Amino acid sequence: MTKPAQVDVDLLVIGAGPTGLFATYYAGFRAMKVAVADSLPELGGQITAMYPEKQIFDVAGFPTIKGRDLVEALVTQAATAEPTYLLGRTATSLEPADESLSVGFDDGTVVVARAVLITAGIGTFTPRPLPAGDGWLGRGLEFFVPSFAPYAGKDVVIVGGGDTAFDWALHLEPVAASVTLVHRRDAFRAHERTVAAVRAAGVEIITHAEVTALRGDAGVEEVDLSVAGEPETRKAQAVIAALGFIADLGPLQEWGIETSKRHVVVDQAMRTSLPRVFAAGDVTDYPGKVRLIAVGFGEAATAVNNAAAAIDPSAHVFPGHSSEA
């Protein structure tokens, strides 16, 4: 029987999204040996999986930056730490081991780390299904838009009323033959500025509406709607269901970490309820929490610096400024 691979590091970062990648860089700045694990096969977390073309507006120093470009820059920055990447595998168990923690993965890998930093974002995420879309996935129905090019010249129907639906509507309008946004209410969760931009772009917005059926032979050709109770049919070769996601922390919830509504509870030092286990980014919860990428970067630095002091009590929490190195 093959012995499971073991990786020994100072810090294990669980989650390779923006917060995890910045934490990796900062761990290298603190001279830590670091490993980064993620259940997804690529770096960048939710941005890479769902929004690589999306413009991001809340990163300091960049009026706007495309998701793909932000991830690329973060990966380059993290490379200075010479991390070990463990992608496409899920952390399933955590056990204390002397002055370290042993984390097991679903492929048999074991990481022994002196501290663990959880930057898992919303955890594993599953798209909320479109009730009328059963059997149409990949045949004109999609939940993610990793590239706009496949929609060139198509009639696109987007279902949803949140930021994702409106962002995709705004970006697809110049590319597609037509874009129609369908929402069951006349109030939207999306940011008011984005809603105004979509209206100004000429995207048709149909409210009090639901998709009742998709029709076509090899792929979607038409979409049946119920609009205020009245039937309508729209031509469409592509349907995007932007109805949100069902998030799940998965095995993390079984480790004994205090959680609140699928988030990990932390204190001002980003410590969780377990010794030597820290968390940062969207996965965390505390009074006044704001879930922005910019906030996650600050939390990552706070977590890593406090982890450094937990690993070596003689180390200072604040190491000085990187510009002094």
- Report mean pLDDT in 10-residue bins for the chain, 325 residues: 76 96 97 95 86 84 92 97 95 91 95 97 79 94 89 97 92 96 94 94 96 95 96 96 82 90 93 97 95 96 97 84 66
Of 263, 303, 269, 299, residue with least CA distance to 284: 263
| Rounded Cα distance, 211 and 224, in Å | 6
Domains in the chain: boundaries: 6-125+245-324, 129-241
323 is in an annotated binding site: yes
Contacts of 78 (CB under 8 A, 6+ apart): 21, 22, 24, 25, 28, 36
Quick one: which of 158, 140, 160, 159 has its CA closest to 150? 140
38 is in an annotated binding site: yes
Q: Is 134 annotated as a binding residue?
A: no
Which pLDDT value is given to residue 1? 41
Q: Is 280 labelled as part of a ligand binding site?
A: no
| Global confidence as pTM | 0.79
**Of 27, 24, 144, residue with least CA distance to 87:** 24
- Neighbouring residues of 214: CB distance < 8 A, sequence distance ≥ 6: 132, 133, 136, 140, 141, 220, 222, 223, 224, 239
46 marked ligand binding residue: yes
248 marked among binding-site residues:
no
pLDDT at 306 (0 to 100) = 97
282 is in an annotated binding site: yes
Superfamily of domain 6-125+245-324: FAD/NAD(P)-binding domain (3.50.50.60)
Which tokens hold the place of 158?
Answer: 């987007």
CATH architecture designation of domain 129-241? 3-Layer(bba) Sandwich (3.50)
In this structure, the number of other CB atoms found within 10 A of the CB of residue 102 comes to 16
- Alpha carbon distance 122, 246 (integer Å): 9
